Structure 1
Amino acid sequence: MKRALISVSDKTGVVEFAKGLIANDFEIISTGGTYKKLQENGVKVTEIDEVTKFPEILDGRVKTLHPMVHAGLLAKRDNPEHMQTLEKLNIQTIDLVCVNLYPFKETISKDGVTPAEAIEQIDIGGPSMIRSASKNFKSVYVVIDASDYETVLESIKSDEDDTVLRRRLAAKAFRHTAEYDSIIAHYLTDLNGDEFPDVEVLGYDYHQELRYGENSHQKAAFYQSAMPSAYSIASAKQLHGKELSFNNIKDADAALRIVADFDQPCVAALKHMNPCGVGVDDECIYKAWHKAYTADTMSIFGGIVAVNREVTKEIAEEMHKIFLEIVIAPSFTDEALEILEAKKNIRLLTLDFSQAKAADKHEYVSVMGGLLVQERDTTVDQMDEFKVVTKKAPTDEEMKALLFGQQVVKHVKSNAIVITTTDKTLGIGAGQMNRIGSVKIAIEQEEKAETHSPLIMASDAFFPMDDCVQYAAEHGITAIVQPGGSIKDQDSIDMADKFGIAMVFTGRRHFKH
């Protein structure tokens, strides 16, 4: 008779699985709570200490860490010496291990959990059995996921060579323990305050297959962090529309980053990872929407829109008139949902925007052969940090506009230039190889818009020459915000003084590559 060792924290389906094994001539061995669960449900089961001839000790910390278990798992069935050793020591083989681990992730996700409580949920015996069974997959099934119970039972019933299945289960098991260890490693690393450890271990769970990647000839999939961020596109709930594409996900992520920087009602419209319109209002989300939309009514077509307040009927009626790929918001009124769901191709998503400040601290960017890790640029510059460097100081209204422009420009691809008034973008120049090119694009766009005052320019990095300041001044810009730091800063200051415009330095650049 073959033997199966079952020890699970998540007992979903385990009784039926055990009964299925017994029906296929397996003897069941079990531990602690699983033993009790099986026994209570009429499953014939042997307790682990009857196998090891040794009691569970140290509050259950030691129960399966025993040669009677691991020799039974690791012995090569086609190695005569191994089998003779088992016979000599009266050790029986174990042919299937069904284990899932202590809920460490779930424990540390709870509020107020102490390190001592978390550490008690680090499983030792479970991963050890999983690894032993996985190493010997040629002879042992390792089952760590209830969704595989039926497949394993069908394989056992067929009595055919199932090496491919057992190897697949072993690979899945090693991925499982690797992710489990990565979560523990990150938890302890964070407790130690080690920001960039000597080894970076990451765990991500399969979220969905994507139709394609950036282009139709590229395969792609979406994975979610093993410790999910509540404020992320992966955590959003889709209410309507077809599945998100690779580019949708990237764009939606960029839009969420923008609105996270604003406490007041804010709407950000985005295309190809750059904002095409951002609007804010002190009280009214509809006004914020209208400002974002009118900032660039052409580029918003086919765009992604993030709204940090509930989408109302009034907003939905205007959104319905144009083609949008995605609208993501904390919620939609019933009337708004009904209006927008009439459009087949729009995707509607909800997300807990109150968690924006608790989003991931670090971001990861892959390069060939490596990974770049950095803190996310969550810094929101403050007005009292601005240093006036020109003879003319900004007016209060200009200063408000400069602050708004500075909040937006950090989300635009470098070289980045943003032209704004106090509460909406008017022109955005992104991703140019020289800064004057971005200035010209932003101003060309601004000149198509309605006249606004004040009219300011924000730059993500310093001006290497004074031509950007001159061009801006010649086209109606009255105040400029930039980080400063160029060896030719004085040339830019002198040019601003020549035209009688104000300039402030922030001392902090916001490159976005």
Structure 2
Amino acid sequence: MTRALLSVSDKNGLVPFAQKLVELGYELVSTGGTHKVLEAAGLNVIAIDDVTDFPEMLDGRVKTLHPRVHAGLLARRDLPEHMATLAEFNITPIDMVVVNLYPFKETIQKSGVTEAEAIENIDIGGPSMLRSAAKNFASVLPIVDPTDYDVVIEKLQTNQVDQAFRKSLAAKVFQHTAAYDALIADYLTVSEFPKNLTLPYEKFDDMRYGENPHQKAAAYTTALSESYSVLNADILHGKQLSYNNIRDADAALRIIAEFEETTVVTVKHMNPAGIGQGENLEEAWDKAFAADDISIFGGIVALNRQVDAVTAEKMHGIFLEIIIAPSFTPEAFEILSAKKNLRLLTLPFTNTISQNLEVTSVLGGVVIQERDLMGESEANFEVVSKAQPTAQQLRAMIFAQKVVKHVKSNAIVVARDGQTLGVGAGQPNRIDSVVYAIQKAVNKTGFSEAVLASDAFFPMDDSVAYAADHDIKAIVEPGGSIKDKDSIAKADELGVVLVFSGTRHFKH
């Protein structure tokens, strides 16, 4: 008789699946709680210790780790010597393994869980059976995912269990056990940068395409997903998020997390287009829009307050891809949802992003680093010029510093307190970024109050000179160049305030 071994933590769909296996002529073998569930459903089930002729022991830690189980799984049906060995030791072949693992992930996510509790939820027997079955997939069906129950039954009923299907189930097993082990390794790892990097991810969705239509793509979440993530946002309206949508929305969420004040952030191609703050959301929107009313076209908007009808009306008149906020009033939602393709997302906002490692792919590998969560504080500023900053200029510097860390290097931000005026992003040399940012800002309302922030030091004094020639009266940059003295001398010559922040914010 064909034999199936079932041992699952997730009992969803188990009984109907087992009933159909019996109808197809399968003999059922099971363990512990799974055995009890199947027996209670009136199914004839063989207990695992009747197969092994050995009792479960050590509080269930050892029950399936036995030759009568693994020989039955690993024996090659096409090798007479393997089958003769099974016959010699009176071992029945096992033709299907249905296993899902102890809930390690769910356990470590519980509040107050102890290490001992986590360790007890590391499955040993389950992965061992799955791996044995998956290795011998030519003869054994390995099933790890309850969502596969129906298709397995359908293929068994129609005699369509071919090698390609068997191989696909085996691949799923090894993907699952690898991710399971990776999560355990991550939980136990004390080194930030271990010798072997194991990063478990779970598929979020297939993308229609990647950055461009000719590129295939998919999105994955970390196994222990972060609540403050575009992948955890509620999509209230609009079509599926694209690859570029996700990247841009992620950039917007990172930027707006810098601010507790009422803030609106607009993003285009992962760079801030305009950022505004105000006493209310409408004022913040007006400043963000005025900061760059061209780049916002087709962009992403993040707002850290509930979207009201007045602000919604103003956004409604512009082509936008995504609006993401903590919530929308019913009136605001009605206004904005009139646009069929506009994505409206909600997410609980935070000013505290967790310090996790970030992974970037390169040809042949990855590089990883901590997130740049360095805060900005006047306490870290060093005024190196003779001219001294005003309180208003210092506030503007703090604001600009929070923005410049999110701009592609070489990065320059021209801003006043609570509003960006010009952003120079991604230029191969710093002076070009300075020129572009100032050109964007120079004719805007509030330019007389503007300061200039740089993500890295000035290698020459040309940036200071250009800024001063265009009426910038205060600059903040990290310092640290071997030619800092030249920039300081130029600032003193031209009467410009120069402040060293001491913190570089490259973003490549």
1:262 to partner: Cα distance = 1.4
Pick the aligned partner of 2:458 from 431, 456, 463: 463
Do the aligned partners of 1:391 and 1:502 also contact (CA within 8 Å) in 2? yes
1:161 to partner: Cα distance = 5.0
Gaps of 5+ in 2: none
Q: Does 1:277 align with 2:264?
A: no
Do the aligned partners of 1:277 and 1:295 also contact (CA within 8 Å) in 2? yes
Tell me the TM-score normalised to structure 1 length: 0.97
CA distance in 2: counterparts of 1:471 and 1:437, whole angstroms: 10
1:374-453 to 2 correspondence within 5 Å? 374-453=369-448
1:307 to partner: Cα distance = 1.3
Gaps of 5+ in 1: none
Moved over 6 A (4+): none
CA distance in 2: counterparts of 1:171 and 1:402, whole angstroms: 53
1:158-197 to 2 correspondence within 5 Å? 158-160=158-160, 162-189=162-189, 192=190, 194-197=191-194
The equivalent of 1:231 in structure 2 is 228
The equivalent of 1:304 in structure 2 is 300
Q: Which amino acid aligns with 1:479?
A: A
Q: Which amino acid aligns with 1:149?
A: Y
The equivalent of 2:204 in structure 1 is 207
Q: Which amino acid aligns with 1:491?
A: D
Tell me the TM-score normalised to structure 2 length: 0.98
The equivalent of 2:471 in structure 1 is 476
The equivalent of 1:79 in structure 2 is 79
CA distance in 1: counterparts of 2:49 and 2:446, whole angstroms: 83
Look up the SS of the partner of 1:353 in the other structure.
coil
Q: Which amino acid aligns with 1:274?
A: N
The equivalent of 2:239 in structure 1 is 242
| Change in CA separation of 1:289 and 1:500 when aligned onto 2, cut-off 3 Å | same
Look up the SS of the partner of 1:357 in the other structure.
coil
Look up the SS of the partner of 1:397 in the other structure.
helix
Do the aligned partners of 2:441 and 2:447 also contact (CA within 8 Å) in 1? no
The equivalent of 1:505 in structure 2 is 500
User: Alpha-carbon deviations, 1:376-419, whole Å to 9, x = none?
Assistant: 11111211100000111100000000110111001001111000
1:82-231 to 2 correspondence within 5 Å? 82-160=82-160, 162-189=162-189, 192=190, 194-231=191-228
1:360 to partner: Cα distance = 5.4
User: Alpha-carbon deviations, 1:453-472, whole Å to 9, x = none?
Assistant: 42100000011111111111
Cα RMSD between the aligned structures? 1.2
Do the aligned partners of 1:71 and 1:91 also contact (CA within 8 Å) in 2? yes
How many equivalent residue pairs? Answer: 508
CA distance in 2: counterparts of 1:46 and 1:161, whole angstroms: 25
CA distance in 1: counterparts of 2:356 and 2:393, whole angstroms: 32
CA distance in 1: counterparts of 2:359 and 2:280, whole angstroms: 35
Look up the SS of the partner of 1:197 in the other structure.
coil
CA distance in 2: counterparts of 1:51 and 1:451, whole angstroms: 82
CA distance in 1: counterparts of 2:405 and 2:103, whole angstroms: 39
User: Alpha-carbon deviations, 1:144-193, whole Å to 9, x = none?
Assistant: 1111111111222223452111110000010000000000000001xx2x
CA distance in 2: counterparts of 1:150 and 1:423, whole angstroms: 57
CA distance in 1: counterparts of 2:341 and 2:439, whole angstroms: 32
Q: Which amino acid aligns with 1:210?
A: M
Q: Does 1:366 align with 2:361?
A: yes
Q: Which amino acid aligns with 1:226?
A: A
Q: Does 1:330 align with 2:326?
A: yes
